[in-house]
A and B are shown apart, each in its own frame.
Chain A
């Protein structure tokens, strides 16, 4: 079945440091890929997405590129802020028609210190 593997956390960084959170996946076909973010006490919210190979999703300074050859969707940000402290989930979902179950990684906690 489908699966998503993301790096274990917590990831602890100083403000303005570079961030990378690795995500790799296993899926049949051509899924859509997502990064969701969860702030304390809240539900998940979409951070960015990519629907086909070589697409780059971006939002709020975060970026991730859909790499089919390496089955990866790594999240990056050039300069993190304290307000970026949250849990980040990599996810995939089947591409077209019919029913499909979303698959999530275990989540990576990011802690940014001033």
Chain B
């Protein structure tokens, strides 16, 4: 069974640009969550989607947004990029809550560098 796939794996942007990252979950998983990982802040929760609806949102500014499609694939967008947005962005999928033990399956991440 294919794992979680994230694209692109690496990208370089300049301040003020925007970026869109994509995540394809494991087949059958309908919940997708996104995380920002930096050396200084560790792993921080961005948001979670289930059945095309955002269920939870972390403490990030409105420049960070996401969506989920009917096939459970998800995208996240960061607008007006800042230097501090440089990070590894991880996507994870899981079975619907209440029917699993909460295990997350992570992709390899998209490493964003903002110059």
Taking Cβ atoms with an 8 Å cutoff, the residues of A that contact B are 31-32, 34, 36, 41-46, 49, 51, 89, 93-107
Contacts and interface: CB of A to CB of B under 8 A. Distances in A.
A61 B40 CA distance: 30
B101 A43 contact: no
Contact of A107 (B42, B102, B103): B42
Nearest to A100: B97
Give the size category of B's interface with A.
20 to 34
Contacts of A96: 97-98
B56 A43 contact: no
Interface in B94-113: 97-98, 101-109
B75 interface: no
Main secondary structure, interface of B, reads strand
Contacts of A105: 42
B106 A32 contact: no
B101 A32 contact: yes
8 contacts: A31-B102, A34-B102, A43-B108, A94-B102, A96-B97, A100-B56, A100-B97, A100-B102
Contacts of A102: 33, 45, 102, 104
Most chain A CB within 10 A, of B4, B48, B103, is at: B103
Q: Which 4 A-B residue pairs are closest in the complex by CB-CB distance?
A: A93-B102, A43-B106, A97-B98, A99-B55
